[in-house]
Structure 1
């Protein structure tokens, strides 16, 4: 399976609804690497790396997010792999 890396920005009601925690849980379930963090503008940013099929599954999940979330938009860009070895929750970006 070919490796893939994506940079993602998710907008809507995505903070204060456990979006980062649920994203990490789903990523670990899929065997993905990368990170997720909040932004001061209310969006959530993520870097997702792993097998193309699993990355695509994760991107589909991000359009819904956890139950309390209300996703308005998902912006996806191809990205160079960062070579992370796990999926982590990072501090808020200022």
Structure 2
């Protein structure tokens, strides 16, 4: 069953390849949505797909790419609206 999540990642997550890392992992898990930097220094992820696959993505986001330092993830589960056809980096 498909679901959606809005994930805010805080810590040292900008300028370290975090958006690219997220896009690659989400695509590998057949998830749709986007990732973008927010003005407050966090990274915002909106994702749709199989709940278990999203949970796997969340585990990967906790670790992040090599030079990142993830402090916290805030996850808000939502109803899936099937708004996305792929997973992309949003400017």
**TM over 0.5, shorter chain:** yes
Structure 1 residues 39-58: aligned runs within 5 Å: 39-58=38-57
Give the corresponding residue for 2:86. 86
Query: Please, which runs of 5 or more residues in structure 1 have no aligned partner?
Result: none
- Alignment coverage as a number of residue pairs: 90
Runs of 4+ in structure 1 over 4 Å off? none
Please give the root-mean-square deviation of Cα atoms over the aligned residues, in Å: 0.9
Give the corresponding residue for 1:6. 5
Cα deviations across residues 25-79 of structure 1 (Å, max 9, x unaligned)? Answer: 0000111000000011100000111111101100111111111110000000012
Secondary structure of the equivalent of 2:22?
helix
Report the CA distance between 1:82 and its aligned residue: 4.0
What's the TM-score, normalizing by structure 1? 0.91
Give the corresponding residue for 2:69. 70
What's the TM-score, normalizing by structure 2? 0.94
